[in-house]
Amino acid sequence: MKILLLGSGGREHALAWKILQSPKVDKLFVAPGNAGTAVGGCVNVALKADDFEGIKRLVLAEGIDMLVVGPEDPLVKGIYDYFRDDTELSHIPVIGPSRAGAELEGSKDFAKRFMHRHGIPTAAYRTFDGTQLDEAMSFLETLAPPYVLKADGLCAGKGVLIVPTLEEAKQELRDMLGGMFGQASARVVVEEFLSGVECSVFVLTDGKDYKILPEAKDYKRIGEGDTGLNTGGMGSVSPVPFADEEWMRKVEERIIRPTVEGLASENIDYKGFIFFGLINCSGEPKVIEYNCRMGDPETETVMLRLKSDIVDLFEGVAEGNLGQRKIQIDERHAVCVMLVSGGYPGTYAKGLPIDMSGVQAGANTIVFHAGTAFNADGVVVTAGGRVMGISSYGSTQNEAMNRSFAVAEQVAFEGKYFRHDIGADL
Ligand code: AMP
Ligand code: GLY
């Protein structure tokens, strides 16, 4: 079969790597992809992931049999519905939820109300718009610091503020409702701060049944010891030690099952990944956020640990018989270390050549490209803040870490930075 994968990050390179291992796949297209997805049986197509008409033309011209959606943007914009409602496309399965399902990520207020309706544990909250400034200020006064303010809509990962004092929280909330993130912060969720260690849990669902993928922990801050600015993610590890059988049983009973059943009971079409951003509050899992896609850089470790044929699972999603498919997990540990551009997550240069000549990656290490591209001379250059994810297997976490750190040292580009403490806290 022929598959089209949308997206261009490390997540998509990891999905492409996994999809290409399937004997069911004849050809994989990635739109737009990166310099890593342009090789090894993959074809990049210069199309934006939200150019629905361009995607339709490509799908029809190439006879594509399945669409797999990496990032949230096309899902929140309704690519699933676009395919479902188009007579020429409706027979082609889309792995990813409908627009209504993607609201779990596209609207924080929708997600909170959904959790409330289905009794799913999460932080206490209220949502306010610009007409409720006084009420919002009074609500803030009832909370203990620090204060958590979330723009309702998508803000490319920048819409959550954690503010230490009441004074600052009031100011930030006024600014958010005043248009700090445009339309995305026309409504703001104000919620209770939860403390604990975070863990990302992923399922693939056909809307009835679900398969739980390996969990992972990502490292969001730029600096070692989890300091400095938030980033898209500086690395990930899987498995996560505290996510043991007992904890995962709570996650499944209290969070995963009520979510999948809740979507079905509300007639929300959901055939794709659900990403549960969880926090471990003294042994009790709570939901920090939902995403309607896989995580990045979590995918760069989760895919290493998925032994099953992912395309077989996708077919189960498409045919609505996921319950009959088997999922097998690799017992080994996986660690991903992200190489980023100097200056990231602030301003950084692009177009710097990447020298891989010193790289000696054994069979246990996979180099996933993220922000990379070919320049006019065909040289692989940096093209984003997060440049490459170095993912390794190990029989222990330490072994996997050391393999990734060794290769992280060997890749060379001007300004390269990575955290040397990925996994060190666990
Ligand atoms: P999000 O953009 O929703 O992923 O939120 C960004 C980060 O903010 C999360 O990964 C958490 O680290 C943190 N965060 C969000 N909500 C809360 C909360 N209620 N309590 C503590 N930390 C939070
Ligand atoms: N790693 C967090 C995310 O993908 O949103």
3-state secondary structure 24-78: CCCEEEEEECCCCCCCCCEEECCCCCCCHHHHHHHHHHHCCCEEEECCCHHHHCC
Whole-number Å distance between alpha carbons of 88 and 314: 21
- Give the number of other CB atoms < 10 A from CB of residue 63: 10
Name which residue sits closest to atom 2 of ligand 2, judged by CA: 295
What is the Cα gyration radius of the chain?
Answer: 21
Q: Is the CB of 289 under 6 A from ligand 2?
A: no
Q: Is the CB of 105 under 6 A from ligand 2?
A: no
Domains of the chain: 2-99 (3.40.50.20), 124-191 (3.30.1490.20), 197-324 (3.30.470.20), 333-410 (3.90.600.10)
State which of 296, 299, 336, 386 you would mutate to test the pocket of ligand 2, scoring each by most atoms of that ligand within 8 A of its C-beta: 296
How much is the average pLDDT of 34-50? 93
- Helix or strand holding residue 117 (H, E): helix 108-117
The pLDDT-based confidence of 127 (bands split at 50, 70, 90) is very high
> Please, which residues have CB within 8 angstroms of residue 80's CB and are 6 or more apart in sequence?
69, 94, 96, 97, 98, 99, 101, 102, 269, 271, 272
Name which residue sits closest to atom 3 of ligand 2, judged by CA: 295
Residue 387's closest CA among 349, 423, 422? 349
Structure tokens at 402: 């050391």
Q: Is the CB of 291 under 6 A from ligand 2?
A: yes
Residue with structure tokens 């896609």? 293
State which of 150, 154, 218, 422 you would mutate to test the pocket of ligand 2, scoring each by most atoms of that ligand within 8 A of its C-beta: 218
Name which residue sits closest to atom 12 of ligand 1, judged by CA: 198
Structure tokens at 63: 């006879």
**Cα 150 to Cα 16, 173, 261, distances in angstroms:** 32, 9, 26
Burial zone of 186 (CB within 10 Å; 0-12 exposed, 13-18 middle, 19+ buried):
middle
pLDDT at res. 6: 98
**Cα 270 to Cα 134, 262, 308, 406, distances in angstroms:** 38, 11, 22, 40
| Predicted confidence (pLDDT) at residue 191 exceeds the cutoff of 90 | yes
> Please, which residues have CB within 8 angstroms of residue 88's CB and are 6 or more apart in sequence?
56, 60
Q: What percent of the chain has pLDDT over 90?
A: 98
Q: Is the CB of 301 under 6 A from ligand 2?
A: no
State which of 199, 200, 213 you would mutate to test the pocket of ligand 2, scoring each by most atoms of that ligand within 8 A of its C-beta: 200
| Predicted confidence (pLDDT) at residue 409 exceeds the cutoff of 90 | yes
| Predicted confidence (pLDDT) at residue 194 exceeds the cutoff of 90 | yes
Q: What percent of the chain has pLDDT over 70?
A: 100
> 277 CA to middle of ligand 2, Å?
8
The pLDDT-based confidence of 119 (bands split at 50, 70, 90) is very high
pLDDT at res. 421: 98
pLDDT at res. 256: 98
pTM for the model? 0.97
Ligand sitting nearest the alpha carbon of 273: 2
**Over the chain, what is the mean pLDDT?**
97
| Predicted confidence (pLDDT) at residue 157 exceeds the cutoff of 90 | no
Residue with structure tokens 């029989």? 395
3-state secondary structure (DSSP) of residue 196: coil
How much is the average pLDDT of 236-265? 98
- Could you identify the atom of ligand 1 that is nearest to the CA of residue 288? 16
- Could you identify the atom of ligand 2 that is nearest to the CA of residue 296? 4
For residue 292, the 8-state DSSP code is: S
The pLDDT-based confidence of 40 (bands split at 50, 70, 90) is confident
Residue 44's closest CA among 54, 34, 53? 34
For residue 412, the 8-state DSSP code is: B
Q: Is the CB of 218 under 6 A from ligand 2?
A: yes
The pLDDT-based confidence of 410 (bands split at 50, 70, 90) is very high
- Could you identify the atom of ligand 1 that is nearest to the CA of residue 123? 19
> 385 CA to middle of ligand 1, Å?
21
Q: Is the CB of 295 under 6 A from ligand 2?
A: yes
**Cα 272 to Cα 126, 206, 275, 292, 323, distances in angstroms:** 29, 7, 10, 8, 14
Name which residue sits closest to atom 4 of ligand 2, judged by CA: 295
> 220 CA to middle of ligand 2, Å?
8
Ligand sitting nearest the alpha carbon of 370: 2
> 232 CA to middle of ligand 2, Å?
6
State which of 120, 140, 162 you would mutate to test the pocket of ligand 1, scoring each by most atoms of that ligand within 8 A of its C-beta: 162
